[in-house]
Chain A
């Protein structure tokens, strides 16, 4: 069951799912905006990466955008961003992230089929932003780019998420399996 309307707004305040209910409540979802922290992955050398390994540190470039600065993505380019909002998913609920429609229609996606936010997760949600279009796309920090949908789980008896991406306050890079 998806939680919507006043059930959702009340649930957000009850569990402090996000700090500012009025800013984020959007009838059927929780609107999420782009944070200033960006992580670029720029491969060097033979640019080959074996899945399961750890990303070479020299490939990872972290930066923080000013509020008047854009995240600029050329055609086919990608970056790791995160939600400006810190999100807390209560036990008994499950989150699914979606790209905001107006951005998706420009062929930009904020996740690469990794949209699930598990019960008990707490932190900023990492976005895998990819520009699939033939245009250069510029996005300002704090701009609404995502929608988080909450579903009620069939039982509360699940172990709260305490994985390697919990409690993040900036984009989290791929971690070694």
Chain B
């Protein structure tokens, strides 16, 4: 098993990627020219893209002028780069030194063979200060390994179609949105309470 030499194994040409998916010299597709091989041909840096997410929430927020991570908060940030993996290469995502010195942690992740999407990178701010990340800033680094076998099939992963919200909203506003989205359920719930009250009233009168 060897670490993939990225100098010769990254392409932004989709037809070259498709042609080589099973080759012993298969190519990793990255749609941008902006990826960086700053630390040599063994690892590639990916950068902050357009969207970020709260953990366990599917709504995407626009990075726009940057995203602030509060102390002890974790969020997900989508990479700018779209990655397509061949069927015989496996990737690992890890943090960059600059985040370690800020007290932030990138959650380690894997990139499976045939993965085809933008990556969502988990970042946790373990410091007591807010951390701000701006669009295109270096986010994480990836290392790729050659496998001893080819994946016998391709995973079909569709692009996420999460709605994009310009700004994150507060708890109060989120509650109001929830009320608006669930007004029928709330009406049924109130009717049930009224019904129970009426029944109790009737029973009390009989007694």
Which stretch in B20-28, B44-52, B97-105, B181-189 binds the other chain?
A: B20-28
- Contact indicator per residue, chain B 23-62, by CB within 8 Å of chain A (1) or not (0): 1111000000000000000000000000000000000000
Report B84 CB to chain A, min CB distance, Å: 15
Does B165 touch A at the CB level, under 8 Å? Answer: no
State whether A10 and B5 are in contact (beta carbons under 8 Å apart), knowing that A3-B24, A90-B25, A92-B25 are contacts in the complex: no
Secondary structure of the A contact surface, majority rule: helix
Chain B residues with Cβ below 8 Å from A27 are: none
Does B19 touch A at the CB level, under 8 Å? Answer: yes
Residue of B with least CB distance to A91: B8
Report A43 CB to chain B, min CB distance, Å: 45
Does B70 touch A at the CB level, under 8 Å? Answer: no
Residue of B with least CB distance to A15: B25
Chain B interface size range: 10 to 19
Does A152 touch B at the CB level, under 8 Å? Answer: yes
> What would 24 A/B residue contacts be, using CB atoms closer than 8 Å?
A1-B24, A3-B24, A7-B23, A7-B88, A7-B150, A8-B24, A9-B22, A10-B19, A10-B20, A10-B21, A10-B22, A10-B23, A10-B24, A10-B26, A11-B20, A11-B24, A13-B19, A13-B23, A14-B16, A14-B19, A15-B25, A90-B25, A92-B8, A152-B24
A11 contacts B25, C-beta separation under 8 Å:
yes
A90 CA / B27 CA spacing, docked (Å):
15
A14 contacts B150, C-beta separation under 8 Å:
no
Does A156 touch B at the CB level, under 8 Å? Answer: yes
Does A62 touch B at the CB level, under 8 Å? Answer: no
Chain A interface size range: 10 to 19
For the A-B complex, the count of residue pairs with Cβ-Cβ distances under 8 Å equals 36
Does A143 touch B at the CB level, under 8 Å? Answer: no
Most A Cβ at <10 Å: residue of B5, B19, B23: B23
A7 contacts B5, C-beta separation under 8 Å:
no
- Contact indicator per residue, chain B 119-159, by CB within 8 Å of chain A (1) or not (0): 00000000000000000000000000000001000000000
A13 CA / B15 CA spacing, docked (Å):
12
Does A114 touch B at the CB level, under 8 Å? Answer: no
Does A6 touch B at the CB level, under 8 Å? Answer: yes
A14 contacts B5, C-beta separation under 8 Å:
no
Report B183 CB to chain A, min CB distance, Å: 56
A11 contacts B23, C-beta separation under 8 Å:
yes
B22 contacts A7, C-beta separation under 8 Å:
yes
Report A88 CB to chain B, min CB distance, Å: 13
Residue of B with least CB distance to A155: B5
State whether A156 and B22 are in contact (beta carbons under 8 Å apart), knowing that A6-B150, A7-B150 are contacts in the complex: no
Q: Which A-B residue pairs are the 5 nearest by beta carbons? A: A10-B23, A10-B22, A7-B24, A11-B23, A14-B20
Question: Which of B191-206 touch A at CB < 8 Å?
Answer: none
B24 contacts A156, C-beta separation under 8 Å:
no
**CB < 8 Å neighbour of A14 from B8, B23, B88:** B23
Residue of A with least CB distance to B7: A156
Residue of B with least CB distance to A2: B24
A1 CA / B5 CA spacing, docked (Å):
16
Residue of B with least CB distance to A157: B5
Chain B residues with Cβ below 8 Å from A152 are: 24
Most B Cβ at <10 Å: residue of A8, A9, A10, A13: A10
Residue of B with least CB distance to A3: B24
Report A33 CB to chain B, min CB distance, Å: 24
Residue of A with least CB distance to B20: A14
Report A158 CB to chain B, min CB distance, Å: 13
Residue of A with least CB distance to B8: A156
